[in-house]
Structure 1
């Protein structure tokens, strides 16, 4: 049985958060480019490049959120929510590329240190850019977790990698300005780059899992099992549980086995109640059930085939 009243999140409203990311990226590009021109610091230049990557990622996020907000149609009966994964994978790759560029630049600077100029003003400008990115990242991350949007979470993480990059660059350049020990500049940059690589790996892993229709996370499966337990006490059994997640939408399907003596009316109502309970516990869950008599051997054929 398929429940027809499938709830949907207002994904279209999320596009305004993508505009926040784009605005923050444009602002920080201008600030960091100014810091580079003032100081001639490759660290500030790499920081500006990171913000340029953020801008490209923000535009990608806006496009994919717009696609994901489209309602289901004849060619896409399950909606367009998976479009968000294209954005998050793109951002993961861009984060990796930015990390690679930072590490490469740091290695070059390690073997070829250069004097830095007008560091005080450059540090102030870069710090201001970091504040802009941090504020935008917090807004996007909060919205992403609330709406279960991997695109917004990816964008927020991308902005935070920019913040950590800036923190590393500012710390290193500030220390160099105080001590004259220029070797610290590339060392800090390489450490920041490795941290960004780890962030990209985690993001790509989540995105690939979504595209491959991985099962719902363990905490969601425990919620489903808890709901099932209440119905087992009423003489109902379950098998063939299948789950997957597509961005903010969760899909749950199961075979509901009821006593053969039950009327179709009673069986239908118990299945409807089960679907409703799952949807109440898992927001935006799309629940599909298939009714079977528990005392019919045919009902267990799919279980035996799976075991074989």
Structure 2
């Protein structure tokens, strides 16, 4: 089991424990803010489980029916998750309004506050780990998961604030208000995940930071390279696909030109992980005689 799968499995177990604790506290106290936070954690279980399956599929090598691999499964999982999360956020807001109109009583205990404080710490730890591994492996699924767990920090903080205000004022308005805020936070995080997933499915280019690193590598090329043009890129899960036209000195033999492009591909792949590079060779634009004495590239080498 690779590190992305292990990290996703860790998130599933932690979120399941958190969801159980929150539901127990919420049902005991009648707090809609705590119950909504529990629903949010239950969503985390669903998201992490889907990511676990999606990552397992995405790491499979290319086959006869998927020549570019299965990386887009991660993007598809992110889009599916976002719609479920959007619906859950709407349900929380609706239930909060319904409970406010019913004017139901809410009661808290020290145990309730302790469980919510513990869940706040858990959410922070899980979010940091997912985000770190997501960046290290460039996994869209883990980054989306980390974003949702980060929103849990706000939802848990909102639930704790609601508990304190309701306990000291006796007004259930605060509990229901913060439950609604949790619902809005969930919807907001779903929107970001949806955007990220759709961009991946629509072959959006690689991030600017990676493109800058790529151009720095290409910028260090010297004779017999005259530069590049028609650079294109796209993402598929955590894999990056790049192709461009490489201008080479006209006096090169085909075998030498091939070796040169092969060396450039290896240089790029060694510096940028999970990168597939395709280079099309073209003769350089200088119309000089094909000798060392007159070659413009050879003179500047």
- Work out the number of aligned pairs and report it: 287
After superposition, give the CA deviation of every residue in 1:41-74 in whole Å (9 maximum; x if it has no partner). Answer: 2222222222222222222111111101211222
What is the CA–CA distance in structure 2 between the aligned matches of 1:296 and 1:75, rounded to whole Å?
43
TM-score in terms of structure 2 length: 0.86
2:49 to 42, 50, 59: 59
After superposition, give the CA deviation of every residue in 1:126-154 in whole Å (9 maximum; x if it has no partner). Answer: 22233333322222221111111111122
After superposition, give the CA deviation of every residue in 1:217-254 in whole Å (9 maximum; x if it has no partner). Answer: 22222222223323367552322211111121111111
| Matching of residues 70-219 of structure 1 within 5 Å | 70-219=60-209
Q: Please tell me whether residue 252 in structure 1 is matched to residue 250 in structure 2.
A: no
Q: Which residue of the partner structure matches residue 302 of structure 1?
A: none
| Matching of residues 255-294 of structure 1 within 5 Å | 255-294=245-284
What is the CA–CA distance in structure 1 between the aligned matches of 2:149 and 2:44, rounded to whole Å?
7
Contact kept, 8 Å, 2:123 with 2:149, in 1: the verdict is yes
What is the CA–CA distance in structure 2 between the aligned matches of 1:130 and 1:272, rounded to whole Å?
50
TM-score in terms of structure 1 length: 0.85
Contact kept, 8 Å, 2:58 with 2:71, in 1: the verdict is yes
| Matching of residues 223-234 of structure 1 within 5 Å | 223-231=213-221, 234=224
Give the RMSD, CA atoms, in angstroms: 2.3
Q: Please tell me whether residue 21 in structure 1 is matched to residue 11 in structure 2.
A: yes
SS at match of 1:216: coil
The 1:22–1:85 alpha-carbon spacing in structure 2 relative to 1, beyond 3 Å, is same
Contact kept, 8 Å, 1:137 with 1:156, in 2: the verdict is yes
What is the CA–CA distance in structure 1 between the aligned matches of 2:150 and 2:91, rounded to whole Å?
17
What is the CA–CA distance in structure 1 between the aligned matches of 2:5 and 2:127, rounded to whole Å?
15
